[in-house]
Chains A and B, each alone.
Chain A
């Protein structure tokens, strides 16, 4: 206490000066319009600058949260967009579309598998088709409560029903295990007309995908095969090396069709 009093006594001139300055500026501010306006401007500038600074700082520190929020919002929007686009091109056989994030992905094996962060608790069913915003990706192979594994189109075991969008010629799409960007379109007879750049879409004649989901475009074909079918190279619309968000197409009538087939 004594030291505080000593300090006040020692700095009394400064304290008195500051008090008197405050009184003077108060007097100036209250009585002079010019000073009142100018001090008002300075005050506005200072408060705006400090608010901007603190806002920038708080935004910087909440970037992770903000990023997460944006990702979720983006997923929702993509979901709506995908649903809209699907409704435009396919029948109403889809029960629902759910979004998921890719956890594990590979493109350098013969039998590539993708794992996503959604499982049965999120309504993911076995053998549902999986698409990216660009096109078809694969089929759900295994499902746990919280995760699901997908057989990618870059898996030599998978063969999907596909058609040429222009001519509606039916074939099947598969991968030869060589180039992860190029798929093979098989079973297209030489009698069909096609050209480089033609789009390949899903045929709808399977349990997995409705008709009209984009797969890729023809980049090369060979019509000299002795078997009577083209050898067609299709460049996939989906970039399998950078998959991040996928959509699972849940078809409701799979069980019914299967039961009919079994009979």
Chain B
């Protein structure tokens, strides 16, 4: 248990460091910044306590807000995604939603893609809605959210493939 906890903390630290040091510096086309830290919420084991996940979402989101000066946009998007994760699991994996590692193995690729992309797109939509915070900019919000979600999904998918193969 302690070993698993240590491994998880190391993984979270690594991902947060990667996000802060590398991906936050990305500014492709002026607005694409992949939110790789979402992999923590995606990889969080289904059997773990969901309350801890929400608190983890708050902590990570808060760190991101402090580093990117976004005043709570990351935090709100993260806790919402963490809160909705159980529902996303069920809608993506169906009867397999209770497999501890459903997001990595034992389920169809399509289900995993749906799961990954649902979490990422919900997070991006909420994030950009809060960033722009204007109904008149709804089109821009959708565009930015969609493009950023694709970039984030691609990187997270690659990382997921690499870690799973290992």
- A13-49 near B? 1/0 per residue, CB < 8 Å: 1101100110011011001101100100000000000
Q: Please determine whether B72 and A20 come into contact, CB atoms closer than 8 angstroms.
A: no
Q: How many A-B residue pairs lie within 8 Å, measured between CB atoms?
A: 48
Residue A52 is within 8 A (CB to CB) of chain B in the complex: no
Within 8 A of A (CB), among B47-66: 50-51, 54-55, 58, 61, 65
Q: Please determine whether A27 and B71 come into contact, CB atoms closer than 8 angstroms.
A: yes
Q: Please determine whether B83 and A28 come into contact, CB atoms closer than 8 angstroms.
A: no
Residue B43 is within 8 A (CB to CB) of chain A in the complex: no
Q: Please determine whether A24 and B54 come into contact, CB atoms closer than 8 angstroms.
A: no
Option from A16, A24, A34, A38 in Cβ contact (under 8 Å) with B75: A24
Within 8 A of B (CB), among A230-256: none
Docked Cα-Cα span, A248 to B51, in Å, equals: 82
Q: Say how far B59's CB is from chain A's closest CB, in angstroms.
A: 10
Q: Which residue in chain B gives the minimum CB-CB distance to A42?
A: B133
Residue A12 is within 8 A (CB to CB) of chain B in the complex: yes
- We find that the number of chain B residues with CB closer than 8 angstroms to chain A is 18
Q: Please determine whether A24 and B79 come into contact, CB atoms closer than 8 angstroms.
A: yes
Residue B93 is within 8 A (CB to CB) of chain A in the complex: no
Chain A residues in 8 Å Cβ range of B51: 12-13, 16
**Known interface pairs A20-B79, A34-B133. Does A13 touch B72 (Cβ–Cβ under 8 Å)?**
no
Q: Which residue in chain A gives the minimum CB-CB distance to B86?
A: A13
Docked Cα-Cα span, A20 to B62, in Å, equals: 11
Q: How large is the interface on A (under 10, 10 to 19, 20 to 34, 35 or more residues)?
A: 10 to 19
Docked Cα-Cα span, A17 to B53, in Å, equals: 11
Q: Please determine whether B76 and A25 come into contact, CB atoms closer than 8 angstroms.
A: yes
Q: Please determine whether A38 and B134 come into contact, CB atoms closer than 8 angstroms.
A: yes
Docked Cα-Cα span, A137 to B1, in Å, equals: 103
Option from B50, B72, B133, B134 in Cβ contact (under 8 Å) with A27: B72
Q: Please determine whether A28 and B58 come into contact, CB atoms closer than 8 angstroms.
A: no
A residues adjacent to B (C-beta < 8 A): 12-14, 16-17, 20-21, 24-25, 27-28, 31-32, 34-35, 38
A-B contact pairs, 23 of them (CB 8 A): A13-B50, A13-B51, A13-B83, A16-B54, A17-B54, A20-B54, A20-B55, A20-B75, A21-B80, A24-B58, A24-B76, A25-B72, A25-B76, A27-B65, A27-B71, A28-B71, A28-B73, A28-B76, A31-B71, A32-B71, A35-B133, A38-B133, A38-B134
Q: Enumerate the 3 nearest inter-chain pairs by beta-carbon distance, A residue then B residue, closest first.
A: A28-B72, A32-B71, A24-B72
